[in-house]
């Protein structure tokens, strides 16, 4: 029997786990991605705050699938899908498929605000994290020769969005402000460095338990972070944040962690697009109205009895949808019964700083030292390579012991500007 051709668009958690579990004796796979590597998104904030090197959380796709049979990889940008002809059009040519799996993940959602999109930083790629690190470190260099009017602007960091990413960024910046930056820049009074976290809802970590909400705010405030809830950003012009209540904050660095939108592909039936950002699928991740196009992970919108408004856009959903679909593909070609997907919530967690974390499990909720160790252990387990697990553990151990790190590098093109 000839092998079925499967094209997978996207090398994130969903795409990687789908391919790894797919029977290589039954399917021929082509993976298409704009990047040549998988990115470990939960630790982007540690790259942005100079705690980890980008290479520690970036994994070459060709290394991941080294030795796999019937597997090809193309570094390309998908332009359009022709569902009637079973063709994926890219900037390097057209590719045909028997089955198409869309696992393109999400990008930062600026909710149509052009000024925010132009001037604020997103954090949805390793490159975004490097840009934030470069800009923040450069601002301290610029501060040494700045005028008095510029100094406030340079020493304000504003983070918008009080979910796990925003909370973890704010806590991490607060720790390097206290433990590291005064040693590097003894001529700067870092008491004037202000880290502000803005959240539109009533609490930080608003989707977690009351323990997590209250504890995260307590931790952040104890670290000196200014937490403003029920606060909406109106606009940002690159120098001044304007809030809907009329208040303004001068800042060179606004990091937008307030929402995501799916990376949609042209050619998908618009009737299947939910909230302009996710593709509606059935319980087998098959796109509505299609016979051979599937969507996985953050881009997929699946309604179930437990999740009538779709599953949360988290790594565990993407990983397990990928694994389940791989098993279902095998069942499909062998005319066996397929398994419906349902997400089993194993818990939610976030860390604010050293010994400061919160964990919500289905059967218990806790905070502090134990939560922090659980957070570190589980994130290490999700890292793809053994080498990276060891490197990250060594970095974390060194930082724990010394309260320092040697990763504060400004890496950019010499011809570029200071952003």
Per-residue model confidence as pLDDT tens digits over 204-249: 999 999 999 999 999 999 999 999 999 999 999 999 999 999 999 9
Q: Residue 365: what pLDDT?
A: 94
**413 band by pLDDT with thresholds 50, 70 and 90:** low
For residues 184-205, give the mean pLDDT.
94
Q: What is the mean pLDDT of residues 20-29?
A: 95
pLDDT confidence of residue 150: 87
> How confident is the model over 173-202, as a mean pLDDT?
93
Mean pLDDT of 37-52: 92
User: What is the model's pLDDT at position 2?
Assistant: 85
Dist CA 236 CA 249 (whole Å): 9
Neighbours of 365 (CB within 10 A): 18
Residue 98 tokens read as 């028997």
For 321, the enclosing helix (H) or strand (E) is: helix 315-333
Contacts of 287 (CB under 8 A, 6+ apart): 102, 268, 269, 272, 279, 280, 281, 293, 294, 295
Q: Rounded mean pLDDT of 315-340? A: 95
Q: Are strands 106-108 and 260-262 parallel, antiparallel or unpaired?
A: antiparallel
User: Tokens 């979910």 belong to which residue?
Assistant: 163
Q: Which among 29, 20, 136, 19 is positioned nearest to 74, based on CA atoms?
A: 29
Condensed to tens digits (0 to 9), the pLDDT of residues 119-150 reads 999 999 999 999 999 999 999 999 999 988 88
pLDDT band at residue 416 under the 50/70/90 scheme: low
Q: Check pLDDT > 60 for residue 418.
A: no
Say what the pLDDT of residue 390 is: 86
DSSP state of 3: P
The closest of 212, 219, 221, 214 to 358, measured between CA atoms, is 212
What are the Cα distances from residue 158, in Å, to 121, 171, 320, 381?
A: 10, 12, 35, 31
Closest CA to 295 of 337, 262, 338: 262
| Measured distance CA(259)–CA(110) in Å, rounded | 7
Task: Give the per-residue pLDDT at 209.
Answer: 94
Q: Per the structure block, which two tokens stand in for 362? A: 């289905």
Q: Are 167 and 214 in contact (CB under 8 A)?
A: no
Residue 152: predicted pLDDT: 85
For position 320, what pLDDT does the model report? 95
pLDDT tens column, 329-349? 999 999 999 999 999 888 899
Helix (H) or strand (E) holding 129: helix 126-143
Q: Exposed/middle/buried for 179, CB within 10 Å: 0-12, 13-18, 19+?
A: middle
3-state SS assignment for residue 341: coil
Mean pLDDT, rounded, for 351-362: 93
CB–CB of 182/192 below 8 Å?
A: no
N-to-C CA span, the chain:
55
List strand residue ranges (DSSP E) for 122-193, in order: 156-160
CA distance 254 to 157: 6
CB 162 within 8 A of CB 197: yes
Copy the structure tokens of residue 231.
């606060």
Does residue 104 sit in helix, strand or coil? coil
Cα(83)–Cα(74) distance, integer angstroms: 20
> Could you tell me the domains of the chain?
4-108+260-333 (3.50.50.60), 114-258 (3.50.50.100)
CA–CA separation, 267 and 84 (whole Å)? 10
- Of 249-263, 280-294, 360-374, 401-415, the least confident: 401-415
Percent of the chain with pLDDT over 90: 78
| Residue 302: pLDDT band with limits 50, 70, 90 | very high
Is 249 within 8 Å of 238 (Cβ atoms)?
A: no
Task: Determine the Cα–Cα distance for residues 264 and 278; give it in Å rounded to an integer.
Answer: 7
On the 0-12 / 13-18 / 19+ scale of CB atoms within 10 A, 227 is buried
Average pLDDT, the chain: 92
Burial tier of 358 (Cβ tally within 10 Å: 0-12, 13-18, 19+): buried
Is residue 114 predicted with pLDDT exceeding 90? yes
Percent above pLDDT 70 for the chain? 97
Categorize the per-residue pLDDT at 414 as very low, low, confident or very high, splitting at 50, 70 and 90.
Answer: low
Q: What is the pLDDT of residues 56-109, one digit of tens each?
A: 889 999 999 999 999 999 999 999 999 999 999 999 999 999 999 999 999 999
CB 143 within 8 A of CB 155: yes
Flag whether pLDDT at 417 surpasses 60.
no
3 state DSSP class of 327? helix
Q: Residue 6 to residues 26, 90, 91, 106, 292: CA-CA distances in angstroms?
A: 10, 16, 19, 22, 10
Task: Supply the angle between the helices 386-402 and 369-382 in degrees, to the nearest 10.
Answer: 150
Q: What is the pLDDT of residue 382?
A: 83
Strands 106-108 and 99-102: unpaired
């Amino acid at each position: 029997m000839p092998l079925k051709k499967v094209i997978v668009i996207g090398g994130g958690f969903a795409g990687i786990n789908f391919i790894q579990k797919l029977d290589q004796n039954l399917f021929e796979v082509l993976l298409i991605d704009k990047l040549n590597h998988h990115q470990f998104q939960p630790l982007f904030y540690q790259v942005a705050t100079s705690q980890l090197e980008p290479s520690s959380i970036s994994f070459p796709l060709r290394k991941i699938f080294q030795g796999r049979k019937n597997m090809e990889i193309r570094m390309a940008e998908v332009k359009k899908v022709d569902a009637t002809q079973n063709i994926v059009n890219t900037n390097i040519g057209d590719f045909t498929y028997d089955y198409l799996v869309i696992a393109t993940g999400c990008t930062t959602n600026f909710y149509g605000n052009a000024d925010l999109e132009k001037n604020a930083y997103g954090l949805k790629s390793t490159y975004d994290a490097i840009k934030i690190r470069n800009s923040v470190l450069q601002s301290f260099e610029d501060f040494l020769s700045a005028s008095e009017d510029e100094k406030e602007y340079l020493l304000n960091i504003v983070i918008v969005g009080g979910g796990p990413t925003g909370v973890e960024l704010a806590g991490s910046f607060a720790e390097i402000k206290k433990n590291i930056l005064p040693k590097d820049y003894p001529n700067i009074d870092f008491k004037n460095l202000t880290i502000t976290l803005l959240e539109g809802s009533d609490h930080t970590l608003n989707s977690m338990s009351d323990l997590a909400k209250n504890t995260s705010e307590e931790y952040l405030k104890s670290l000196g972070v200014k937490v403003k809830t029920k606060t909406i950003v109106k606009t940002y012009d690159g120098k001044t944040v304007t809030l809907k209540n009329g208040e303004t904050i001068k800042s060179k660095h606004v990091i937008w962690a307030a929402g995501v939108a799916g990376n949609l592909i042209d050619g998908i039936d618009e009737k299947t697009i939910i909230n302009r950002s996710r593709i509606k699928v059935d319980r087998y991740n098959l796109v509505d109205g299609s016979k051979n196009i599937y969507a996985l992970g953050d881009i997929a919108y699946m309604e179930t009895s437990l999740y009538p408004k779709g599953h949360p856009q988290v790594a565990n959903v993407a990983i397990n949808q990928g694994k389940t679909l791989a098993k279902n593909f095998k069942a499909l070609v062998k005319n066996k019964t397929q398994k419906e997907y349902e997400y089993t919530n194993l818990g939610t967690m976030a860390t604010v700083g050293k010994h400061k974390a919160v964990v919500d499990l289905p059967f218990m909720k806790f905070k502090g030292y134990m939560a922090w160790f659980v957070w570190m252990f589980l994130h290490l387990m999700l890292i793809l390579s053994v080498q990276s697990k060891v490197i990250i553990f060594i970095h974390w151990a060194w930082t724990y012991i010394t309260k320092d790190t040697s990763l504060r590098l400004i890496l950019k093109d010499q011809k570029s500007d200071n952003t």
